[in-house]
Amino acid sequence: MEELKAKAQSQILTFGILGIIFGALGGLLGIIFSSISLSKAKKYAAEGNELTGKAKTGKILATVGLILGILGVVFSIIFSVAGGMMSQYMQY
């Protein structure tokens, strides 16, 4: 039983780390990995386990990664639209 808990905690942490890395790069992968980590953390807590150690750290990293990923996607869309509008006015 303890081995399954340790494996689940490691998965939560791993996906949390991947979420924050790809979230900082502003990609959709950050949102995906963070969502997986948060989902696993929710399932882990629903099974009656307390989020401590690796699981808690993974959930925090996933939350930050999700926020960074969402901001990155939003800014990418804004800059893409703004760049397209600017190119219309810059034609000679």
What's the total number of domains in the chain?
A: 1
Task: List the chain pLDDT tens, one digit each, 92 residues.
Answer: 788 888 989 999 999 999 999 988 878 999 999 999 999 999 999 988 888 888 899 999 999 999 999 999 998 888 888 777 776 776 65
pLDDT of residue 6: 86
Compute the distance between CA of residue 42 and CA of residue 47 in angstroms, rounded to an integer: 9
The whole-angstrom separation of Cα 88 and Cα 20 is 36
DSSP 26: T
58, 41 Cβ separation under 8 angstroms: yes
Model pLDDT, residue 91: 64
- Is residue 17 a contact partner of residue 62, using CB atoms and an 8 Å limit? no
Is pTM beyond 0.95? Reply is no
DSSP classification of residue 49: -
Q: Identity (one letter) of the amino acid at 35?
A: S
Which pLDDT score is estimated for 22?
92
pLDDT of amino acid 82: 79
| pLDDT at site 68 | 93
